[in-house]
Structure 1
Amino acid sequence: MPEEDLVELRFRLYDGSDIGPICYSSSSTVAMLKERIISEWPRDKKIIPKLANDVKLISAGKILDNSKTISQCRPSFGELPGGVITMHVVVQPSSAKSKTEKNVDELPKKACSCSIL
């Protein structure tokens, strides 16, 4: 791989700790980055993502799309000659989503008690 084709990335976790820096090919997709993050995730954390969909990557204030490559996201990264790019990792496990979202059937039902005179 040519050296200019490599991008050095660091992933900042919710508690301020990091995964990386690790060099990636600029043709790597965001989904591939997420899979690598899950495999490298420290097991001593309270929250551990299980699926790539449980993880969101944020760079320069933008949530990165799974289908995009690093080179397609590069405008978000800016131009850092030889620097390490830090991305923020947000974890939202799908089980936590289902616990916080209420089903319409679970909401209390109210009966109408209108009187028309």
Structure 2
Amino acid sequence: MPEEELVELKFRLYDGSDIGPFRYSPTSTVSMLKERIFAEWPKDKKIIPKAANDIKLINAGKILENNKTVGQCRVPFGELPKGVITMHVVVQPSLAKAKSDKVDDTPRKHFCGCTIL
């Protein structure tokens, strides 16, 4: 694939630092981007994703879906020259982990004999 067709992306982390830029084919999926971000994640950060699925990518204010391609996610910029596109990265633990951390809400007996929910 000719180099001019590649899309140059960098990924902005929560603290303002960046991963990249890297060049991707427009047919690369968001899932592939997340795998690369996970592999390149700086080990000295306070927040570290445990898996690529913990990473959410945001471009132009929208959370990108894993099955979308880079070409589908690119926002048309009109006559602006081609350059590096910055996507924002949010680390959000998967829903399965969040459910396992749920507070125990089993009803309990209070000392007065009433049930507390």
Report the CA distance between 1:97 and its aligned residue. 2.4
Over 6 Å off, 4+ runs = none
Aligned length: 107
Structure with the largest fraction of helix: 1
Report the CA distance between 1:107 and its aligned residue. 1.1
With structure 1 as the length reference, what TM-score do the two structures score?
Answer: 0.80
**Residues 101 and 59 (structure 1), Cα distance of their counterparts in 2 relative to 1, 3 Å cut:** farther
Which residue of structure 2 lines up, in the alignment, with residue 93 of structure 1? 93
Q: Please list every run of 5 or more consecutive structure 1 residues that lacks an aligned counterpart in the other structure.
A: 113-117
- Deviation string for 1:68-88 (max 9, x for gaps)? 0011112xx232532110000
More displaced stretch, 3-12 vs 30-39 = 3-12
Which residue of structure 1 lines up, in the alignment, with residue 24 of structure 2? 24
Q: CA RMSD, aligned part only?
A: 2.1
Matched, 1:82 2:77: no
Matched, 1:109 2:107: yes
